[in-house]
Amino acid sequence: MEQRLRHEAKALLEQGKVDWIIGFEPGSLKFTTTPLITNDKNDADRLVINPFIVNNLANFLTEVKGRVGIVAKGCDSRSIVSLIQDNKVLRESVVILGVPCLGIIDLSKIERLVTKDRNELDDIIREGDKVVIRVDGEKKEFPTTQALFDNCLACEFPTPQEYDILLGEPKPAAPNLAQSRENIEKLEGMSPGERWDFWKNELNRCIRCYACRNVCPACFCQRCFVEETEPQWVLPVPRWQDNLIFQIVRNIHVAGRCTDCGECQRVCPVNIPLRSLAREMYDLVDELFHFKAGMDKDARSLMTHYEEKEAEEFFR
Amino acid sequence: MASKKIDKKDIAKLLSLWSQQFAVFTPSQASGVATMAKWDGKDASFLDWYRNTVIPPKANFLPAMEEMFGFQKDREGYHIELLPSNERKQLIFGVRPCDAKALAILDMTFKEAYEDPYYLPKRSSAVLVGLGCTNPYDSCFCTSLGISPAQSTDVDLMLTDIGDEFLIEEVTDKGKELIAKATEVKKASKEEEAKAKEVKEAARQKVTRKIDTEGIGDRLLACFDDEDYWEKIAAKCISCGICTLLCPTCYCFDINDELVRQQGARFRSWDSCAFPLYTKMPMENPRLEKWRRVRQKVCHKFKFYPMNFGVIACTGCGRCIRLCPVNWDITQTLESVPVKV
């Protein structure tokens, strides 16, 4: 898959079909990759596909000018489609290099499994439905259900929904919704008071780095409401109350656009379980509107679309 | 000066003793993220997991947010209500040499450039107990900034892990006083001192990530106007605030007032040059483009701060690399700076 990607990416640049390639190259730390954004065909040889390609590269599409060849996993492809629905990206300006995805390895889970930091591990290898970790000369095996990101466990569409070039055989979906919703079920089991205290406690440590927002392809506002001063909806001061408003409004804003790519939670430096909010909203959107984000580029964007036969009386 | 030592099992007793006089802070994950938090009064089990905190100890002196004063509004105008300052003196246990050095660097801004009335009282009354790093991360590069991971500077007391015990160096008089009455503290032997020296050297060897700081300021200045270079460097940055807010030497803050009915308060909170709004002015924004902001961050640390204070504002703690959502790596950037001067 990797060789094919390098070949295709190089050809796209050489033939002038794209101006830029957005993909992954090896990162500077163990078990990491990093976005590669290049217009140089010689860089194509650095492109990689492995179980550590965490980033949702669709995030860069609204920023990079010109025609773009972009590497996309299943969830990323849906983010791209969602951007097309919102007229943020033109379908004809992107060449989607689709990666049928087996799920991405969650290094935080690995660290908890072996009680070691990531840089103390010798190797992490994906072998079928197992993840093999080599550490201190020992080999430890875990089922992928313990090692992949929660959102990957829930994945219904591992193969890109929209692509120009599919880099491998389509992968069958095997969503394990129960396991991926474990943390959410815990929250749902709480009384409203307990849940309030839970989020108060979690959001109390937010430092307002805005990584959750900036890493999110669905958060494409030119100016975010948290930065408005007239009126000032929330203070930029990281008080839990303001942090809570920030997250609630952010989740409402990305409803119908969020593909549960899990990036908001992964990047949070203070470990706030943001996917619990995002996934809950994702499921609510599905339940209320029978809508899953980014499935059909010709469908209209859910929240900006109005029809005369709209169900709600107050809309008419 | 002869060194002292303490059994690791007795650390909790020492912390208890210090608690009588200080608000004792230790590495803690109780809040959900590793930070220097109020000691739980129980044990020293944090030693089992502690490598470094995610939130740097600067937060103990320059908190992520802080109420500066309250105010009341009436027909005559605003009346300021100063907050009572009854904070206890802080003792921070387990500060790593990179973070201790970072505090010394912050002092230059908050003490020398001007006297900050919020930072300084906390800082000058505080006591730092350092703990040498024996297991640095692969993102650490302190040795390139002239820091050794177990060096005994910028702290009052320095501990080095020599097995079942910590070797203790009394770095300042304040530090000496700390253990003067501690019965658990014993005199260390020559062999134990030698062992500590070995441990320190071994730790230094473990830091393999390097940067070349030789003439870095001039090299940065030479490519300052190279827009293509900076655009390439900045391409994958997502303009979040992680690398700056969690940098132990970054000190930028924002000030906001809140007025609800007649009662108000002024807050200051961490701010970041990575945010486009950081430089927003009524007519224009000199750093609207991302590459200008990335350039500012790099140049501030490696050119402007040295110009102002004679020291690079980076201690190689590696947080910005470890925590970056896109693995933007300052050491790679510095390595790629064109060599022409």
- Domain edge (last residue) among B156, B183, B206: B206
What is the Cα B43 distance to its own chain's centre?
A: 24
Going across the sheet that includes A20-26, the strands are A33-38, A20-26, A68-72, A94-98, A165-166
Query: Is the CB of residue A124 less than 8 Å from the CB of residue A110?
Result: yes
For residues B16 and B39, state if they share a domain: yes
- Contact yes or no for A237 and B256 at CB 8 A: yes
- Tens place of pLDDT for every residue, chain A, 316 residues? 999 999 999 999 999 999 999 999 999 999 999 999 999 999 999 999 999 999 999 999 999 999 999 999 999 999 999 999 999 999 999 999 999 999 999 999 999 999 999 999 999 999 999 999 999 999 999 999 999 999 999 999 999 989 999 999 999 998 988 888 889 999 999 999 999 999 999 999 999 999 999 999 999 998 899 988 888 899 999 999 999 999 999 999 999 999 999 999 999 999 999 999 999 999 999 999 999 999 999 998 898 887 777 766 665 5
Query: Is the CB of residue B100 less than 8 Å from the CB of residue B175?
Result: no
For residues A216 and A118, state if they share a domain: no
- Is the residue at B200 inside a domain? yes
Q: Which amino acid is at A223?
A: R
- Is the residue at B341 inside a domain? no
Q: Which pLDDT belongs to residue A232?
A: 87
Burial B292-326 (b: 16+ CB within 10 A, else e): bbbbbbbbbbbbebbeeeebbbbbbbbbbbbbbbb
Q: Which domain holds residue B221?
A: 216-336
Q: In chain B, what's the furthest Cα-to-Cα distance?
A: 74
- Contact yes or no for B269 and A201 at CB 8 A: no
Q: Tokens 């246990």 — which residue?
A: B93
Beta bridge partners of A132: A125, A141
What domain count does chain A have? 2
**How far apart, in whole angstroms, are the C-alpha atoms of residue B333 and residue B298?**
9
Q: In chain A, what's the furthest Cα-to-Cα distance?
A: 68
Q: Which domain holds residue A18?
A: 2-104+148-315
Query: Is the CB of residue A222 less than 8 Å from the CB of residue B287?
Result: no
Burial A200-215 (b: 16+ CB within 10 A, else e): eebbbbbbbbbbbbbb
For residues B201 and B119, state if they share a domain: yes
User: The CATH number of the domain where A114 resides is what?
Assistant: 3.10.450
| B45 in contact with chain A, both atoms CB, cutoff 8 A | no
Q: Which pLDDT belongs to residue B341?
A: 53
Q: Which pLDDT belongs to residue A229?
A: 83
Chain B residues in contact with A119 (beta carbon < 8 A): 137-139
Closest among A201, A224, A228, A202 to A213, alpha carbons compared: A224
How many CB atoms are closer than 10 A to CB A120?
Answer: 16
Q: Which pLDDT belongs to residue B83?
A: 87
Q: Which pLDDT belongs to residue A178?
A: 86
| A183 in contact with chain B, both atoms CB, cutoff 8 A | no
Closest Cα of chain A to B184: distance in Å? 31
Instruction: Give me the residues of B, 75-114, that contact A with CB < 8 A.
Output: none
- Contact yes or no for A55 and B269 at CB 8 A: no
For residues B51 and B167, state if they share a domain: yes
Rounded to 5 degrees, what angle do the CA atoms A230, A232, A238 make?
A: 150
Q: Which pLDDT belongs to residue B283?
A: 85
| B210 in contact with chain A, both atoms CB, cutoff 8 A | no
The phi and psi torsions of B269 (rounded to 5 degrees) equal -145, 160
Q: Which pLDDT belongs to residue B86?
A: 74
Whole-complex ipTM: 0.95
Q: What is the pTM (predicted TM-score) of this model?
A: 0.95
**How far apart, in whole angstroms, are the C-alpha atoms of residue A213 and residue A245?**
14
Closest Cα of chain A to B64: distance in Å? 7
- Average pLDDT by stretches of 10, chain B with 341 residues: 92 97 97 97 95 98 97 94 87 98 98 95 96 96 96 97 97 96 95 96 96 94 95 97 98 94 96 94 91 98 97 98 98 89 53
Closest among A292, A285, A5 to A155, alpha carbons compared: A292
Give per-residue pLDDT as tens, B217-256. 999 999 999 999 999 999 999 999 999 999 999 999 999 9
What domain count does chain B have? 2
**Quick one: CA dihedral B231, A21, A34, A296, positive or negative?**
positive
Q: Which residues contact B120 (CB under 8 A, 6 or more apart)?
A: B110, B111
For residues A199 and A124, state if they share a domain: no
- Is the residue at B51 inside a domain? yes
Chain A with chain B: Cβ pairs closer than 8 A:
109
Joined tokens for residue B304: 């402007």
- Domain edge (last residue) among B178, B206, B234: B206
* Residue of chain B with shortest Cα separation from A212: B240
Give per-residue pLDDT as tens, B100-142. 999 999 999 999 999 999 999 999 999 999 999 999 999 999 9
